[in-house]
Amino acid sequence: MLPPFFNVGSMTNKGIDLSISQRGQFGGSKGIRFDATLTFTTYKNRITKITDGVSFFDSNSPANEENRVGGRFTRNAVGHPINSFYGYKIIGFFEDDDDVTKSPTQTDAAPGRFKYQDSNGDGAITDDDRVFFGNPNPKFSYGLNLNLGYKGFDLNAFFYGVQGKDAMNYNRWWNDFYAAFQGGKSKIALYDSWTPDHKNAKVAVQEVDGNFSTNNTVNDYIMENASFLRMKNLQLGYTIPQSILGRLKIDKIRIYIQATNVFTITKYTGLDPEIPTSDDRVSGIDLGTFPTVKQYLVGVNVNF
């Protein structure tokens, strides 16, 4: 019989939660009414202890993916944020055979392949050269809930944003390397991969087989900035004047139109920078989410 699971580690979260509200009116009693609430949250997460004699453990990677990339994406270590991205840091491409010879020894090194950082300076790229290179926990998040009213019209808008959040866009592993998937490729793979005539590229040379120096180990190539600002909700309504409703013996009629996820401002190339997941062990790892759903509604509220 297996012993029960129990918590042995600890971590701290230090930060600020701020909420500011303001309401008022412009232009006198018949002017524009407003009600606004601004929220701001920032925190710093740190693991302070795991268990006696253990300073780190690697989180479970998505099913079967660690076999493809030769390792796990995240590491939990004392002194670092939870689920930090961990692996090899890319510092450029091997320019030619001479560059390979002069550089620290690296498995599968060849012109056009990724050159990794020799973090400990011992002249050889090994497991000890892996570093923490990304954090899925945002630096801060914010929101704005705004209500406006003028005569019978009302407008509600809700904005939500996240800043300083890193994400591993695993879709790029499939789309940017021919060795990963021989089907449809990204524009980067087709037009901006390394060749002897195009050394200022964004991705390594395209090859039939993957290797340690391209896509067969965890590196920071697929990491992106997943900061975003999104209008989550927008609603415009109109309440019919009571002078008209009195004849119909109706207390209130309000007609409205509503839209959700109206727009998103982000540099993230995946389908949804929020990267929803029910498993915190893969927080910030985008395995291919559904596109953000936009909804448009028209409704009527009637009170008798």
| pLDDT digits 0-9 by tens, 246-274 | 677 778 889 999 999 999 999 999 999 99
| Position 1 in a domain | no
Residue indicated by tokens 């796990």: 72
Does the residue 188 lie in any domain? no
Could you tell me if residue 72 is inside a domain? Answer: yes
Residue 176 zone, left/alpha/beta (φ > 0; ψ -120 to 50; rest): alpha
Specify the pLDDT at position 163. Answer: 97
Q: Is 3 helix (H, G, I), strand (E, B) or coil?
A: coil
Among candidates 140, 108, 155, 150, which has minimal Cα distance to 258? Answer: 155
Q: pLDDT tens digit string along 220-231?
A: 999 999 999 999
Has residue 52 been placed in a domain?
A: yes
pLDDT in tens, 146-183: 999 999 999 999 999 999 999 999 999 999 999 999 88
Would you state the pLDDT for residue 213?
97
What range does the domain containing 264 cover?
10-88+130-177+215-303
- 297 burial level (CB within 10 Å; 0-12, 13-18, 19+): exposed
Q: Is residue 123 part of a domain?
A: no
In a domain, 198, yes or no: no
Q: What is the count of structural domains for the chain? A: 1
Give me the half-sphere count of Cα atoms (radius 13 Å) on the Cβ side of residue 292. Answer: 19
Structural domain includes residue 98: no
Residue (of 184, 189, 227, 228) closest to 206 by Cα position: 189
Q: For residue 48, tell me if it sits in a domain.
A: yes
pLDDT of residue 60: 65
Q: Distance from first CA to last CA of the chain, Å, rounded?
A: 64
Give the predicted TM-score (pTM) of the model: 0.89
